Amino acid sequence: MSQTVKLRLEDLGIKPYMISKLKLAGIDSVFDLAISIPHQLTDVSGGALTGTDEHVALELVTKAKNALVDSGLLYKDFSTAQDILD
């Protein structure tokens, strides 16, 4: 019997006010965040995280992707040469 993993934005350690901003923009799940483009999240003309540094948006998207990979819900699609050699 397989176990279903249910990840929530709250599980990533994202602050509640940031989660509220994301949800208002239609980003309701870790998967939604993982497929987001950081630049679009911080777009001054109405991005989900308007006024937020793009570095913060990239960090959030990366956290979401890593959580999905770690949980086995997403395969790591990129390997560096060092990863392959290790």
Q: Is residue 82 part of a domain?
A: no
Mean pLDDT of the chain: 81
pTM (2 d.p.): 0.75
Q: Is residue 54 part of a domain?
A: yes
| Residue pLDDT, tens place only, 11-49 | 999 999 989 989 988 899 999 999 998 888 887 556 677
Q: Is residue 7 part of a domain?
A: no
| CATH code, domain carrying 21 | 1.10.150
* Residue in the structure block whose two tokens are 């770690």: 70
Q: Is residue 83 part of a domain?
A: no
Q: Is residue 84 part of a domain?
A: no
What domain range is 55 assigned to? Answer: 13-74
Residue 19 phi, psi dihedral angles, 5° rounding: -65, -40
- Read off the pLDDT band of 79 (50, 70, 90): low
Domain count, the chain: 1
Q: Is residue 34 part of a domain?
A: yes
Whether the predicted pLDDT of 3 surpasses 70: no
